[in-house]
């Protein structure tokens, strides 16, 4: 693979639908899978060894790399393509694994201890990229996406059994229960009593049907463990089972425009805004909200990046939680999160520390305004943002008339004896949600927030290009292993793109960039350096 010098470092649009054999070999060599293969061999023990573990693992990776919809399609290509089969250690067509053996291998790969090793492989590859690319991870964007999946047969049968136990009784049995125990018809007084008790039961049922507080997710201390909701159904290994999810989309007035429903999981990601590389990810049930996963995602991202690399984090309103803002504030990360509308009646409030004689207010988004009280009626002006004072923990605003150069009747009152006009400092500790380090009303916030579209492109690439959302994988363990494999392959191709030679013009000589030379080193050599 040779790229044009004008292409970005990670030229995702240059990924070919028909990957060359040499590029497949390089991508496989970029994956540090020695510990995983040894763990799989140890797990097999003295069992059947019809197909070596390395062959099964290579077939699993080739299914993703070659973008086959099913494993059967990859097995068919391995039987026809001898050079491709030789690449993963298959010498004869009879040595190609069977569909059943690949199904059992994927089930073993989905065991918790092997999922941990898969995550470690991905983190190792991202760490290598972070050391080679100086700006990788400086500006992050996060989001979640729905993924379609299916339950295994054993869990389908168990759910059906529960549903049959809880099914309503037929009308005949209901009538029999409605009769008195002695079988005689009810009198008129008994009928009135029964009617009154029925009304009381209905009233009690109505009171019990009030919405209750949704239980919070169970967040483990170990980021390698799955994050589960308290209502999740789990398999025997503790992984959440796929379940139904629903997402409402609202307009500016808060009205629901349409609803998206699916059955499966949610994937939460932190992505580099510039290079569109997944630095951290979590798979949860649809019940787990984005705000409950950000802490775990940040821990993963900080583990694979150099210290203090992360500067900003862009997220949608799903992350607008005071605990999220407090976490980002403690770690010195500037949030780029739009605020959720919660004020029902009031449109502005007096800034704390200012009494009724002051003319400084703020709205729900944290935008600071001043009032020209001399004019009739009073005129509201947005104050000029003058910067974030990190040492003081304040946001500085100045008189808009002085800053923008227009005449204001209040200038003589507000700016008398002040060179730069009236200055207001807002303590962020008043409300970290409302007063982030980069105010929402600034052009800087708007420009940086546009970078959040990077995570949407990564989500689309996972679904459309890599086929994570096809819904062909059955069972939680298999699905988690499949997603982990896609993340590893994506990191391998990121290494391939960044390490590819660059050529200036059609007749120019191809050469490696400094980052390319670093990534061209063998994985074993880079391991010793890190």
Would you say residue 183 has pLDDT above 50? no
How large is the average pLDDT for residues 310-329? 94
Q: What percent of the chain has pLDDT over 90?
A: 55
In sequence order, which ranges of 278-321 are alpha helices (DSSP H)? 294-304
Q: Distance between CA 241 and CA 285 in Å, rounded?
A: 7
What confidence tier does 18 reach under pLDDT thresholds 50, 70, 90? Answer: low
Average pLDDT, the chain: 83
Q: Distance between CA 460 and CA 14 in Å, rounded?
A: 16
- The pLDDT assigned to 13 comes to 87
How large is the average pLDDT for residues 243-264? 78
Taking the complete model, does pTM exceed 0.85, yes or no? no
- The pLDDT assigned to 45 comes to 85
Query: Which is nearest to 226 in space by CA: 133, 110, 96?
Result: 110
DSSP state of 96: S
Q: For the chain, what is the total number of helices (H) and then of strands (E)?
A: 19, 17
Q: Distance between CA 226 and CA 266 in Å, rounded?
A: 12
Among 125-139, 149-163, 500-514, the minimum mean pLDDT is found in: 149-163
Q: Distance between CA 291 and CA 282 in Å, rounded?
A: 13
Specify the residue for token string 């026809």: 80
pLDDT (tens digit per residue) in 400-427: 998 888 889 888 888 888 888 889 999 9
Please list, in sequence order, all residues whose beta carbon lies within 8 angstroms of the beta carbon of residue 525, skipping any fewer than 6 positions away.
Answer: none
DSSP state of 352: T
- The pLDDT assigned to 64 comes to 94
Would you say residue 239 has pLDDT above 60? yes
Q: Give me the CATH code for the 139-150+215-341 domain, please.
A: 3.30.420
- The pLDDT assigned to 523 comes to 67
In sequence order, which ranges of 139-243 are alpha helices (DSSP H)? 153-165, 171-178, 188-208
Domain ranges of the chain: 3-134+472-529, 139-150+215-341, 349-438
């Amino acid at each position: 693979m040779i790229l044009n010098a004008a292409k970005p470092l990670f030229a995702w649009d240059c990924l070919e639908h028909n990957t060359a054999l040499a590029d497949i070999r390089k991508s496989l060599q970029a994956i540090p899978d020695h510990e995983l293969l040894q763990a799989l061999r140890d797990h097999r023990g003295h069992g059947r060894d019809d197909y070596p573990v390395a062959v099964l693992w290579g077939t699993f990776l080739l299914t993703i790399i070659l973008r086959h919809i099913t494993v059967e399609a990859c097995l068919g290509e391995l039987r026809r393509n001898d050079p491709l089969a030789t690449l993963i250690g298959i010498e004869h067509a009879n040595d190609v694994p069977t569909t059943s053996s690949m199904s059992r291998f994927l089930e073993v790969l989905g065991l918790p201890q092997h999922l941990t090793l898969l995550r470690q492989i991905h983190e190792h590859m991202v760490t290598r990229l972070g050391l080679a690319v100086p700006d990788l991870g400086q500006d992050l964007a996060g989001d979640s996406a729905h993924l379609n999946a299916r339950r295994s047969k054993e869990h389908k049968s168990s759910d059906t059994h529960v549903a049959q136990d809880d099914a309503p009784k037929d009308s005949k049995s209901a009538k029999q229960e409605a009769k008195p125990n002695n079988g005689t018809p009810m009198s008129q007084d008994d009928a009135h009593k029964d009617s009154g008790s029925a009304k009381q039961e209905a009233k009690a049922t109505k009171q019990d049907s009030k919405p209750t507080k949704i239980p919070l997710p169970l967040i483990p201390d170990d980021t390698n463990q799955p994050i589960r909701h308290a209502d999740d159904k789990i398999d025997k290994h503790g992984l959440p089972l796929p379940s139904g999810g629903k997402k409402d989309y609202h307009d500016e007035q808060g009205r629901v425009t349409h609803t998206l429903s699916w059955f499966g999981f949610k994937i939460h990601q932190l992505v580099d805004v510039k290079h569109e590389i997944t630095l951290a990810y979590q798979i949860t049930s649809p019940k787990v909200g984005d705000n409950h996963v950000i802490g775990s995602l940040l821990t993963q991202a900080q583990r694979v990046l150099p210290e203090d690399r992360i500067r900003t984090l862009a997220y949608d309103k799903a992350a607008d939680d005071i605990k999220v803002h407090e976490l980002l504030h403690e770690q010195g990360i500037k949030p780029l999160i739009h605020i959720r509308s919660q004020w029902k009646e009031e449109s502005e409030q007096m800034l704390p520390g200012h009494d009724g004689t002051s003319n400084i207010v703020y709205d729900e988004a944290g935008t600071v305004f001043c009032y020209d009280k001399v004019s009739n009626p009073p005129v509201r002006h947005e104050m000029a943002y003058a910067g974030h004072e990190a040492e003081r923990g304040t946001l500085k605003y100045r008189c808009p008339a002085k800053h923008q150069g227009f005449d204001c009747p209040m200038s003589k009152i507000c700016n008398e004896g002040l060179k730069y006009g009236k200055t207001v400092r807002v303590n962020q500790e008043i409300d970290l949600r409302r007063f982030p380090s980069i105010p929402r009303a600034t052009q800087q916030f708007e420009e940086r927030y546009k970078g959040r579209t990077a995570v949407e492109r990564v989500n689309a690439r996972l679904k459309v290009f890599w086929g994570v959302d096809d819904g062909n994988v059955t069972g939680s363990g298999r699905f988690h292993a499949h997603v982990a494999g896609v993340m590893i392959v994506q990191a391998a191709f990121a290494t391939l793109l960044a390490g590819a030679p660059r050529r200036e013009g059609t007749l120019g000589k191809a050469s490696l960039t400094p980052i390319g030379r670093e990534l061209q080193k063998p994985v074993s050599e880079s391991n010793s350096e890190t």
